[in-house]
């Protein structure tokens, strides 16, 4: 009972503090790459306060219910992802035997929610951004599916705690060298961050969020940040051994590894140029999807030899 409450408390803390940590790390990374980032520590708070005071935009005949629900649904999906992250062998909010599949469902449903965000505004640019994401969303899901099956094979289980336990002798990042890079691409796509920001890109004046302002804009940005944290925690669990590590307690190792993956994603977001939509489609289907299948075959061969 105590461990269940502790795990739920940790998920709540991450939900509350995660967006601020993402904003601070993003500004630190931007500063290290030479970009102007403004006030690193108070800037995110001042921006949040500013958005709260702004008037919410309204388009002609939007689907108000869907428009207001989409940020909440995206945040809820991120919370579900955090709930299946094991902080130790017993400290986990939802220890399902199919938790790997549940995370795959989160990625699939995220495509629906992102499309809903753009469609419900009843405006041209948000709808284009939504269709852009849908055009690429299936490739993200397929790449992630092959990669996640690959990490589940050594554990012979679809349970995240068993995936971590199977890495006691060797982390999956070493056992399957293609897995983590491919999964990071999925993370950038799932949160439409950096080079894969084709849903809310500047050439569409904000894409799915082009008509969103005020508190609704803040809610959407918070949901994106929490999803980035959730994805980083899943990546740390799947490839970096989760709670495994010397000296420090398991939850602290999960936190350190999650922050490391998060910082890497933010750095990639600033260093890599945005990919044109048509080239991104080719990259995903012609290059990365076959590589993810190679990764799965590699994982299967190693599992047979083990």
Cα gap 297→287, rounded to integer Å: 16
4-51 pLDDT per residue, tens: 788 888 899 999 999 999 999 999 999 887 776 678 999 999 999 999
Cα gap 71→278, rounded to integer Å: 27
Q: Tokens at residue 130, please?
A: 């939504």
Q: Minimal CA–CA distance to 92: which of 190, 192, 164, 28?
A: 164
Q: How many domains does the chain have?
A: 1
Which pTM was predicted? 0.96
**Chain mean pLDDT for the chain:** 93
Cα gap 29→266, rounded to integer Å: 7
Cα gap 159→150, rounded to integer Å: 13
Cα gap 227→229, rounded to integer Å: 5
Work out the angle at residue 276's Cα, subtended by the Cα atoms of residues 263 and 81, and round it to the nearest 5 degrees: 40
205-241 pLDDT per residue, tens: 899 999 999 999 999 999 999 999 999 999 999 999 9
Q: Over 90: is that where the pLDDT of 95 sits?
A: no
pLDDT value, residue 89: 87
Identify whether the C-beta of residue 174 lies closer than 8 Å to the C-beta of residue 168. Answer: no
pLDDT value, residue 171: 96
Average of pLDDT values for 78-104? 93
Beta strands in 93-185 (DSSP E): none
Query: Which residues lie closer than 8 Å to 148 by C-beta, 6 or more apart?
Result: 100, 103, 104, 238
Work out the angle at residue 110's Cα, subtended by the Cα atoms of residues 109 and 111, and round it to the nearest 5 degrees: 90
Query: Containing domain of residue 256, as a range?
Result: 1-305
pLDDT value, residue 184: 97
Cα gap 129→119, rounded to integer Å: 9
Identify whether the C-beta of residue 180 lies closer than 8 Å to the C-beta of residue 173. Answer: yes
Identify whether the C-beta of residue 270 lies closer than 8 Å to the C-beta of residue 123. Answer: no
Ramachandran sector of residue 92 (left: φ over 0; alpha: ψ -120 to 50; beta: rest): beta
Work out the angle at residue 89's Cα, subtended by the Cα atoms of residues 87 and 90, and round it to the nearest 5 degrees: 85
By the 10 Å C-beta count (0-12 exposed, 13-18 middle, 19+ buried), 109 is classed as middle
């Amino acid at each position: 009972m105590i461990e269940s409450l502790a795990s739920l408390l940790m998920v709540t803390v991450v939900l509350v503090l995660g967006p601020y940590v993402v904003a601070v790390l993003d500004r630190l990374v931007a500063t290290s790459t030479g970009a102007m980032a403004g006030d690193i520590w108070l800037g995110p708070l001042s921006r949040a306060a500013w958005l709260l005071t702004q008037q919410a935009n309204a388009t002609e005949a939007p689907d108000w219910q869907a428009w207001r629900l989409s940020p909440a649904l995206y945040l809820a999906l991120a919370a579900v992802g955090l709930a299946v992250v094991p902080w130790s062998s017993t400290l986990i909010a939802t220890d399902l035997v199919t938790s790997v599949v549940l995370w795959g469902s989160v990625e699939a449903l995220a495509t629906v929610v992102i499309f809903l965000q753009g469609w419900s505004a009843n405006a041209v640019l948000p709808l284009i951004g939504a269709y852009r994401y849908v055009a690429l969303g299936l490739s993200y899901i397929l790449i992630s599916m092959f990669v996640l099956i690959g990490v589940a094979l050594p554990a012979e289980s679809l349970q995240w705690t068993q995936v971590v336990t199977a890495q006691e002798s060797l982390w999956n990042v070493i056992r399957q060298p293609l897995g983590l890079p491919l999964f990071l691409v999925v993370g950038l796509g799932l949160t439409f961050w950096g080079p894969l920001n084709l849903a809310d890109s500047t050439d569409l004046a904000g894409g799915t969020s082009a008509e969103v302002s005020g508190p609704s804009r803040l809610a959407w940005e918070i949901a994106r940040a929490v999803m980035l944290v959730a994805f980083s925690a899943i990546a740390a669990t799947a490839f970096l051994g989760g709670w495994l590590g010397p000296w420090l307690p398991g939850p602290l190792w999960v936190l350190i590894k999650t922050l490391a993956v998060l910082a890497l994603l933010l750095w990639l977001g600033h260093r890599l140029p945005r990919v044109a939509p048509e080239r991104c489609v080719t990259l995903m289907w012609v290059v990365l999807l076959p590589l993810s299948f190679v990764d799965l075959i590699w994982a299967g061969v190693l599992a047979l030899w083990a």
